[in-house]
Structure 1
Amino acid sequence: MKKLLLAAAIAVSILGGANAQTFPDKPVRVILPFPPGTGPDTVMRMVGERLSKIWGQQVVVENRPGGNGWIAMDAAKRAPADGYTLMQVDASQMAAHPHLFKKMPVDPAKDFDSVAPMYRTYYFVTVAADSKWNTVGDLLADAKAKPGAITYGSSGMGGNIHLGGAMMEKATGTKMHHVPYKETTQIYMAIANGDIQWAVGTASTTQPMQKAGKIKYLAVTGPQRTSIFPDVPTVGESKGPANYELQTWVGLYAPRGTPKAVIAKLNVDIAKVIQEPEIRSRLNAVGFEGLAQSPEEFQKMMNADSTKFGALIKEMNITLD
């Protein structure tokens, strides 16, 4: 982390003209496609409050939900490339949507510059509390014995939760039945009620029902166990595919052409806030892991997810056009 901040600080020093040295000298606007009260919105407002104190300038959070995230992304794309308008998005919007839609009003790879990640979170393989399955291996054994009979839920075609189920099918050569819901919370209520049998879900969304004894976790989809639920095994430890990993991340982008010195300053300041002990603690409490990466490292992570999702979407013939 210290090396990252030092490198970024050097970049600001080397590249810093008047723009970077005085930035920001007016309010900074962040456009996001998430409704108020959601995880990304809550984190953005929390981080924005800290940045306002550092900068002496207000951070204005502007929610523009709807349209697959394109309403917010199009507004950010059209803004001046000066660092005073940023866009907060997640992995699916940047890495999956380009493979799901033949036509989009924005091109994530060409219209935006990476600024900084904020956090990432892994998912949990979630089943009813009274399910006979105690491992992912149990679930897969039934899926192999009854092709097409096992049901998994999602919040819609092509989203991370759907892709998580499709990834499990692909990794294990099984065929299961996908059931989409309009609202994410409906998925886990359906699991608890026995309407569907499983789904992946983040801790921030599923933890209340897990703590209430309505659902249980078979595994976490990360490379190692999490500090928030250390007793929950990884998918591989739970007798599932060893290479199965599903994460989502949320980060900040700027319109393409934003000065590199301004991006470097934004990256340094955002990383400092994300690494504050209080911020890290509040993120960890809901299963989020604060991320501090350079713009180049952030872009590399996005490219890797795009490659992975692109191959999966093509093989599973998933399309939203």
Structure 2
Amino acid sequence: MQSIAHSSTRRHVLALAAVAAVLGSGAVQAQPAGYPAKPVTIFTAFAPGSGPDAVLRIVGEKLGKAWNQRVLVENRPGGGGFIAIDAVKGKPADGYTLLQLDSEHLAALPHLYKSRGFETLKTFEPVAILFRTPFMLAVAADSKWKTVADVVAAAKAEPGKVTYGSWGVGSPGHLGGEELQMRTGTEMQHVPYREVSQLFTSVGAGDVSWSFGSIPSSQGAFKAGKIRYLAVAAPKRLAQMPEVPTMAEAGGPALDVNSFVVLVAPRGLPAAVRDKIHADVAKAVADADVQSRFNTFAFETLNWSPEEIGRQAAAKSRIYGELAQRKNISLE
């Protein structure tokens, strides 16, 4: 009997030890020991002074304080995003090198550079969402058009005569314009610009008929009285500009033109490190200083998991693929 009791007790102790080991392992996974133990570098595909760059720097400052480590921001604009992508591609998947991209880098590049066979989310994995920005449809302040219905009517009356500008082939402004044409059965002429500031100067001067634009990129021309907003390409009006109707309210299709900005990492990042970065970025974004900046730019805070970022990018990719095929849009 003593032998049986002893055996039973021993099995109970071993079982408890096994449970403790599993729980201990889970605790280690949940809280990666020592991360980050050295400075973290975040490369960005955006130029210094841009909206995404401004957000990244303030979020990076918050992360640096929380982590007690330096968070370095390295700007690598140009090349359709490939300059920044190439700077991070092949780096260790350890959380010490991250990359800031937007939804078009995730979803449009495979359709714009088909011969490269590059799919962003096969090389990188989503880590955290920073923000989403809506786009306004802008015309010159003295434009005769008062509604989106007026723009569509003019495009139908003279196919190919109405022009719209954007900050480059494959940009949200370009692809949003292509979607507007597809949804309304119109044909308009796309005029790409190299500089966003020049784009809205041209819209204000009437050199191009209209353009999509985010609030931070177009607010200079708007505040100077050079352009007007006919609509916001979103499901609902913006709290910052409640007087501006949605596309549908302004007589156009219910178009939702937006771009979201994220942090990604080389694939293979340990789940515990990814989860820590995700949680800490969410805390930084929720900070009052960051939210104040977001409110100024009408940036939207999103509670997306890494998996949801992937799903949203896939949804955009389907739309962009259709648009690129329709007009044979390419950057090659």
In the superposition, the TM-score normalised over structure 2's length comes to: 0.89
Q: Which amino acid aligns with 1:70?
A: F
Q: Is the 8 A contact 2:110 2:118 kept in 1?
A: no
Q: Which amino acid aligns with 1:195?
A: D
How far off its partner does 1:68 sit?
Answer: 1.5
Where do 1:158-197 residues align within 5 Å? 158-197=170-209
Name the structure 1 match of 2:226. 214
How far off its partner does 1:290 sit?
Answer: 2.3
How far off its partner does 1:60 sit?
Answer: 0.6
Q: Is the 8 A contact 1:70 1:105 kept in 2?
A: no
How far off its partner does 1:64 sit?
Answer: 1.5
Identity %: 47
Q: In structure 2, what is the Cα distance between the partners aligned to 1:104 and 1:247?
A: 26
Where do 1:261-276 residues align within 5 Å? 261-276=272-287
Name the structure 2 match of 1:33. 45
Q: Is the 8 A contact 2:109 2:119 kept in 1?
A: no
Moved more, 246-255 or 68-77: 68-77
Q: Which amino acid aligns with 2:104?
A: S
Q: In structure 1, what is the Cα distance between the partners aligned to 2:88 and 2:279?
A: 21
Q: In structure 2, what is the Cα distance between the partners aligned to 1:30 and 1:164?
A: 29
Structure 2 alignment gaps of length 5 or more:
1-24
Q: Secondary structure at the match of 2:135?
A: strand
Moved more, 301-310 or 167-176: 301-310
Q: Is the 8 A contact 1:129 1:192 kept in 2?
A: yes
1:249 to 260, 275, 284: 260
Q: In structure 2, what is the Cα distance between the partners aligned to 1:94 and 1:17?
A: 28
Q: Is the 8 A contact 1:73 1:106 kept in 2?
A: no
Q: Is the 8 A contact 2:169 2:331 kept in 1?
A: yes
Q: Secondary structure at the match of 1:250?
A: strand
Q: Secondary structure at the match of 1:30?
A: strand
Q: In structure 2, what is the Cα distance between the partners aligned to 1:317 and 1:115?
A: 32
User: Could you list the per-position Cα deviations for residues 80-129 of structure 1 after superposition, in whole angstroms to 9, with x for gaps in the alignment?
Assistant: 00011100011111111111111338531211111011011010000001
Q: In structure 2, what is the Cα distance between the partners aligned to 1:23 and 1:38?
A: 29
How far off its partner does 1:35 sit?
Answer: 1.7
Name the structure 2 match of 1:134. 146
Q: Is the 8 A contact 1:24 1:57 kept in 2?
A: yes
Name the structure 2 match of 1:309. 320
Name the structure 2 match of 1:9. none
CA gap of 1:193–1:105, structure 2 versus 1, over 3 A, is same
Structure 1 alignment gaps of length 5 or more:
1-12
User: Could you list the per-position Cα deviations for residues 264-290 of structure 1 after superposition, in whole angstroms to 9, with x for gaps in the alignment?
Assistant: 010000011111222112111012112
**Moved beyond 4 Å, runs of 4+:** none
Where do 1:1-321 residues align within 5 Å? 14=26, 16-17=28-29, 20-104=32-116, 106-242=118-254, 244-321=255-332
Q: In structure 1, what is the Cα distance between the partners aligned to 2:26 and 2:288?
A: 29
Moved more, 13-22 or 78-87: 13-22
Q: Is the 8 A contact 2:30 2:272 kept in 1?
A: no
Q: Which amino acid aligns with 2:193?
A: Y
Q: In structure 2, what is the Cα distance between the partners aligned to 1:206 and 1:265?
A: 35
Q: Secondary structure at the match of 1:158?
A: coil
Q: In structure 1, what is the Cα distance between the partners aligned to 2:42 and 2:31?
A: 19
The alignment of Structure 1 onto Structure 2 pairs a total of residues equal to 308
Name the structure 1 match of 2:14. none
Q: Is the 8 A contact 1:274 1:292 kept in 2?
A: no
Q: Is the 8 A contact 2:110 2:117 kept in 1?
A: no
Name the structure 2 match of 1:6. none
In the superposition, the TM-score normalised over structure 1's length comes to: 0.92
User: Could you list the per-position Cα deviations for residues 112-147 of structure 1 after superposition, in whole angstroms to 9, with x for gaps in the alignment?
Assistant: 111011011010000001111111001111111111
Higher relative contact order (CA 8 A, sep 6+): 1
CA gap of 1:105–1:75, structure 2 versus 1, over 3 A, is farther
How far off its partner does 1:182 sit?
Answer: 1.5
Q: Secondary structure at the match of 1:249?
A: strand
Q: Give the CA RMSD over aligned residues.
A: 1.5
How far off its partner does 1:165 sit?
Answer: 1.1
Q: Secondary structure at the match of 2:111?
A: helix
CA gap of 1:143–1:273, structure 2 versus 1, over 3 A, is same
